Structure 1
Amino acid sequence: MSNTVFCKKFQKDMEALDRAPLPGAKGQEILQTVSKQAWQEWQLLQTMMINEKQLNLMQPESRKYVMEQMEKFLNNEATDKLTGYVSPDDITEL
């Protein structure tokens, strides 16, 4: 059976990550408090944010922004809205 963790995003015991997703103390904290599902959902949102906001992760302010949004997402706080994203459910056939 796989390891479980009490996920701070979903507030229940869920499947844990296999390894820390980031280096250092922050990675260890995520490993101990975030489920695999929550991390996968964050990765999808992160990718959309990087693309929609055209972030350059070589710039410190872009990395700081992504980390702030990650904290908000994982703590069930509101993240910035993506203005260019259209959900497939919102697309109607012509």
Structure 2
Amino acid sequence: MVRMVDCVKLGRTLPGLEQPPFPGALGQRIFDHVSAEGYSLWQPHMTIMINHYALNPADPETRKLLRNEMEEFFFGENARLPEGWAPPGAAPSKGAPAPQRK
């Protein structure tokens, strides 16, 4: 039987993760309160953070920063993308417009 959770990220009851995503209190909190669908949103967000800030995931300080960002992403009110980040092909938020394709 599928385990259901009241997903704090998506605001509805959905199937939960099969197991905590990693050991520790934050992993257990995510397991208890975030759906599998909600958790799947973290990977692209984390990738954006790593690429935008040129982070090294092997660095302990980077891992600490990403864990803090993960907690904010799922449970905080201020989860946001990096300042100045725009999806590829979108107009930048500041400065010159995006280059036009010919």
TM-score normalised to structure 2 length: 0.74
Q: Does 1:44 align with 2:47?
A: no
Higher helix share: 1
Tell me what 1:62 maps to. 62
1:25-78: CA deviation from partner (whole Å, max 9, x where unpaired)? 322221111111111101110111112211112222211111111111102522
Q: Is the 8 A contact 1:9 1:76 kept in 2?
A: no
Unaligned 5+ runs, structure 1: none
Count of paired positions = 94
Counterpart code for 1:77 = E
Q: CA deviation at 1:80?
A: 4.8
Looking at structure 2, the residues matched to 85 and 30 of structure 1 have their Cα atoms a distance apart, in angstroms, of 26
Looking at structure 2, the residues matched to 73 and 55 of structure 1 have their Cα atoms a distance apart, in angstroms, of 18
Structure with the greater alpha carbon radius of gyration = 2
Q: 1:37 to 1:89 in 2, by over 3 A?
A: farther
Counterpart code for 1:4 = M
State the superposition RMSD in angstroms: 2.3
Q: Is the 8 A contact 1:46 1:66 kept in 2?
A: yes
